[in-house]
Amino acid sequence: MKLTGAQALLECLKREGVDTIFGYPGGYVIPLYDCLYDFPAIKHILVRHEQGAAHAADGYARATGKVGVCLATSGPGATNLITGIATAYMDSIPMVAITGQAKTTALGKDAFQEADTTGITMPITKHNFLIKKVADLPEIVAKAFHIARTGRPGPVLIDVPQDILNGHLDYKPVEKVEIPSYKPNTEGHPMQIRKAARAIASAKRPVLYIGGGVISSGASREVVELSERTHILVTTTLMGKGAIPESHPHSLGMLGMHGTAYANYAVAHADLLIAVGARFDDRVTGKLDAFAQKAKVIHIDIDPTEVGKTVHVDIPIVGDCKSVLTDLLKKVEPKVASEWNEQIMKWKNEYPLCYKKSTDGLNPQYIIEQINKVTDCGAIIATGVGQHQMWSSQYINCTFPRQFISSGGLGTMGFGLPAGIGAKLGCPDKDVFVIEGDGSIQMNIQELMTAVAYGIPVKIVILNNKYLGMVRQWQELFWKRRYSATNIEAQPDFVKLAEAYGAVGMRIEREDQVEEALKKAMEINNLPVVMDFHILREENVYPMIPAGQSVEDMMGHK
């Protein structure tokens, strides 16, 4: 079948199961957009900034488990994707970014809107490709999707020169992808799995430490089964939220800098730490030589470079989380709840997540609790980055995997709104709430127009304290309240701004307005709703372990 490169590219995307792409046109990708005009199998969502396209594709991937796809032109179009690609890379999210490029004959000659996109993105992609021959296009696209979705997932970039899009080839679908140098190991070593089972059997104070790899591999059921069979309690990372229902009696919530006190105490006193699909990042470990000092460590991860990278591992198991846990469950004998469980529950009762109700303004924690209530803990939650993100991670009660969508490793402000749009398009039957701060929301506020244009009814909650709140909190606690460049009282009227975009806007300033506003937003199903909640200006996120410190230095946990 004789096709142009642009036609073949769309056929390849269709073959990979792509139904939605997020993009922004430009000169070098006009041939592709011309073909999209007559290609109903794929819906194109026109964002208002390329960074929004990358975050929307990311949110789509996190919510669905499928590969998200974004599209931009060359030069500034491609470089505007960089933050979104890096966000997906840090959190191991499967994504394919397609960028236009100058003609192959012009490469390296500083042509108009030429940029070395593959060179720029090499450190923040799992792999990238520059297509130099049109005949190579089908194989490269197939390889890109294979790499993005297998092993440890991640973003892959395909840079497509304009003459490749305009060129012609005899198109044949790629039936099988073979990459000799890329063979991710999915099966755990039987001997290591037996060692892990013996360690679990003999442990007196075990803790399960669950990361985003469990979500990626679809291993949530296995985690719950392992926990219930052995009565080992479970703490999760930010990326692991939802791997076990947080209403489950074995759930300890999140650990780390802003994790629950009882989860951090459990890890600090454990004699066995079973890490599954987690990478021991610094927001979890804090001071490394004080982290889980008393524990032997089992580390299950599909990426061999993560095992032993940060902490000493006693029993390394390289393999897919679901596969390894399935094999481990065949070896693990049932255990009963012990005095160790009672001790953790005692900590949970002594040091619960709590906040002091204020009569002077809205508590952000209360607003999030009301979101749980009006959604019956069933909505997908997408957040930006800042204090609102941490309050959400603490108080949103996740009940299923892929429910909590947030930028973890890169900590990208402005992620929430476009990611929420992508999540809603990927899961149209789910309510999607976007929880943002008044600083973070302005990073990608233009995507409100995208939501209006396509009638995407995301519910946007702005926790508005007129500060860049997380930086202000650090300035208060560690920099003698010298609030340098964090006061953002000069800000738009978010209600008027929402209305200017064609969305619904609400302003909420009292506690008795909160539930009513959320319920009203739930009833609107054809437009986005922006709810501007005026919260206490100097409310802090607690508990908090200062950066580089240990559980002994935890602040505000009583």
pLDDT tens digits, one per residue of 166-211: 999 999 999 999 999 999 999 999 999 999 999 999 999 999 999 9
Q: pLDDT digit string (tens) for 331-374? A: 999 999 999 999 999 999 999 999 999 988 999 999 999 999 99
DSSP state of 489: -
Name residue 4's beta-bridge partners: 168
Q: pLDDT digit string (tens) for 471-514? A: 999 999 999 999 999 999 999 999 999 999 999 999 999 999 99
DSSP state of 362: B
pLDDT for 535 beyond 60 = yes
**Within a 10 A sphere around the Cβ of 2, how many other Cβ atoms?**
9
pLDDT for 558 beyond 60 = no
Query: pTM for this one?
Result: 0.97
Query: Do strands 234-236 and 251-254 pair parallel, antiparallel, or not at all (unpaired)?
Result: parallel
204, amino acid identity: K
Helices in 2-73 by DSSP H: which ranges? 5-15, 30-36, 50-64
> Counting Cβ atoms within 10 Å, is residue 231 exposed (0-12), middle (13-18) or buried (19+)?
middle
371-376's contacts with Cβ under 8 Å and 24+ in sequence apart are: 371/396, 371/433, 371/435, 371/461, 371/518, 372/396, 372/397, 373/515, 374/515, 374/518, 374/519, 374/522, 375/431, 375/433, 375/522
- Phi, psi (deg, nearest 5) at residue 405: -120, 115
Q: Distance between CA 480 and CA 363 in Å, rounded?
A: 24
Residue 420 Cα distances to 369, 450, 451, angstroms: 19, 12, 10
pLDDT band, very low/low/confident/very high, at 527 (cuts 50, 70, 90): very high
Domains in the chain (CATH in brackets) are 2-170 (3.40.50.970), 190-350 (3.40.50.1220), 364-534 (3.40.50.970)
Contacts of 46 (CB under 8 A, 6+ apart): 23, 24, 25, 450, 453
Among the listed residues 501, 504, 502, 499, the one whose alpha carbon sits nearest the alpha carbon of residue 446: 501
Give me the mean pLDDT over the 50-64 stretch: 98
pLDDT for 68 beyond 80 = yes
Coil vs helix vs strand at 144: helix
Query: Do strands 168-170 and 2-4 pair parallel, antiparallel, or not at all (unpaired)?
Result: antiparallel
Q: Distance between CA 558 and CA 554 in Å, rounded?
A: 10
